[in-house]
Structure 1
Amino acid sequence: MPGSTKLATSMSRAVVTPLARMLWRPRIIGRKHVPKHGPVILASNHRSFIDSPAITLMAPRKVSFLAKQEYFTGTGLRGAVSRAFFGGIGAIGVERGAGAAAQHALDLGLERLEAGEAFAIYPEGTRSLDGRLYKGRTGVAWLALTSGAPVVPVALTGTEHVQPVGSRVPKLAKVTIEFGEPMDLSSFGDASSGRARRHATDAVMAAIQALSGQEPANAYNNPPATIVERVKQVLRRDDPKQAVEPD
């Protein structure tokens, strides 16, 4: 890790962590389950914009995660602050999308794991607007089966109250983050097997659900195409039979 990145990380944690603990009064459970050394995947539910900062600031070791490239391309003072903050807490800027873009994002995560680092991922793919736990995408299993890294399930509770959908300013609320016991997914098979990836991912999601207590959606979380659809998804629960993609 370059010296400038180490300095930014240390400064961000030194300044932001005490402030976050004061404002959100986090309850942290199971930190002992996160290995102190070696590659590990932190697989979490996703309820708020602040989930990634919460995980990286409350975990017992440095954690990397994927973030929108826009956080690193801004100009002026605001852009500089954004780059310093997100770079300091372990964010990796990527272009969002499917296909090649999605594989590139996974490849970046694999690089971190092969370097012996901790990497956080949201198997649901995007934030849950209605509070349910959605079906996991199999990228988490591909990473685990390809790298051999254990998976630590993570459950976040309360972050949805700190920064609700549509809110730009964080609110005062109590946050709980629970780290579950590490999971070895190697028994599910090879990363090249779609069935192995599916079953391994389902096991990870079951572990997350056991910690979070969320209602399973039994569907993929497909991002709403418009603002109106986003509002509708918040106000009502969609039919869980919809938006289920083929395995």
Structure 2
Amino acid sequence: MLFYHFMHRVVAPTSRAIWRPRVEGADNVPKTGGVIIASNHMSFCDSLVIPLVAPRQVTFLAKAEYFEGTGIRGAASRAFFEGLGAVPVPRSENRGAMAALEAGKGVLDQGRAFGIYPEGTRSLDGRLYRGRTGVAWLALTARVPVVPVGLVDTEKVQPIGTKIPKFSPKALVRFGEAMDFSAHYDRKDVGKARREITDEIMEAIQKLSGQETAGVYNERPVEDA
């Protein structure tokens, strides 16, 4: 928690001054209570940009390797991701996807904000891919609202394959209005409900990001984040 406050009182203002991201709709994020922050995914820096500009702490999942390094570099990586409030999740688990969702539900049950990319992995061609229903599982199981987010130009700030963000152009982060799915909590056709909710969330993300839709799932490239 101490390093989190350092990140947001020192690192965040410095980062905003350097990269000058534009932010719209931050007031749409509920100030308290569990909430899902569902975003498109264009760059590795997405999981850094959103927590740095959000009006409250947003927890993302991160590969466990980021927390397990040794020496100065390992300690720095661990401190950085802990400062962002990231939760480590091993990717080698047999139930990896379910373990990730359960970790997310744990965050939401604590009344915190949890960030998720419904596409599952980064878009390599700039299109918005079909959402996977894990986001709806979280919304229905944790019974929390969803705030859609549209990221614009983050793939230009940190192109895939690069480690250092560029100084231009300025990325845009759009927070949409919170989506309430309480009318679906007690539906019997759970599978259909999850699909409908996910599609509604992806439609809201598309309106915020302006991306072309791919209409298919985005398969995870080997070693992708």
Q: Same fold (TM over 0.5)?
A: yes
Q: 1:196 pairs with 193, 198, 202, which one?
A: 193
Secondary structure of 1:152's counterpart equals: strand
Q: 2:107 pairs with 109, 112, 115, which one?
A: 112
The Cα shift of 1:64 comes to: 0.6
| 1:201-226: CA deviation from partner (whole Å, max 9, x where unpaired) | 00000000011000000010002348
Code of the residue aligned with 2:179 in structure 1: it is: M
- Paired residue for 2:56? 61
CA 1:192–1:70: 2 relative to 1, 3 Å: farther
| 1:106-139: CA deviation from partner (whole Å, max 9, x where unpaired) | 1111011111001000000000010000000100
Secondary structure of 2:124's counterpart equals: coil
Gaps of 5+ in 1: 1-5, 228-247
Instruction: Give the Cα separation in 2 of the matches to 1:98 and 1:76.
Output: 26
Secondary structure of 2:138's counterpart equals: helix
Code of the residue aligned with 1:156 in structure 2: it is: L
- Paired residue for 1:148? 143
% identity of equivalent residues: 57
Moved more, 168-177 or 141-150: 168-177
CA 1:113–1:93: 2 relative to 1, 3 Å: same
Within 5 Å, give how 1:78-89 maps onto structure 2: 78-89=73-84
Q: TM-score when scaled to structure 2?
A: 0.94
| 1:135-187: CA deviation from partner (whole Å, max 9, x where unpaired) | 00100000000111000000111110111011111111201101000001233
Aligned length: 222
Instruction: Give the Cα separation in 1 of the matches to 2:200 and 2:52.
Output: 26
Q: 2:124 pairs with 111, 114, 129, which one?
A: 129
- Paired residue for 1:230? none
Instruction: Give the Cα separation in 1 of the matches to 2:160 and 2:210.
Output: 21
Q: TM-score when scaled to structure 1?
A: 0.86
Native 8 Å contact 1:141 1:191 kept in 2: no
Within 5 Å, give how 1:138-177 maps onto structure 2: 138-173=133-168, 174-177=170-173
Native 8 Å contact 1:47 1:159 kept in 2: yes
Instruction: Give the Cα separation in 1 of the matches to 2:213 and 2:93.
Output: 24
Code of the residue aligned with 2:44 in structure 1: it is: F
| 1:53-102: CA deviation from partner (whole Å, max 9, x where unpaired) | 11111000011110111110001000000011100011101112686111
| 1:191-243: CA deviation from partner (whole Å, max 9, x where unpaired) | 9711110110000000000110000000100023489xxxxxxxxxxxxxxxx
Native 8 Å contact 1:64 1:92 kept in 2: yes
Code of the residue aligned with 2:190 in structure 1: it is: S
Instruction: Give the Cα separation in 1 of the matches to 2:68 and 2:222.
Output: 24
Code of the residue aligned with 2:100 in structure 1: it is: A
Within 5 Å, give how 1:166-245 maps onto structure 2: 166-173=161-168, 174-189=170-185, 190=187, 193-225=190-222
1:52 aligns with 2:52: no
CA RMSD of aligned residues (A): 1.7
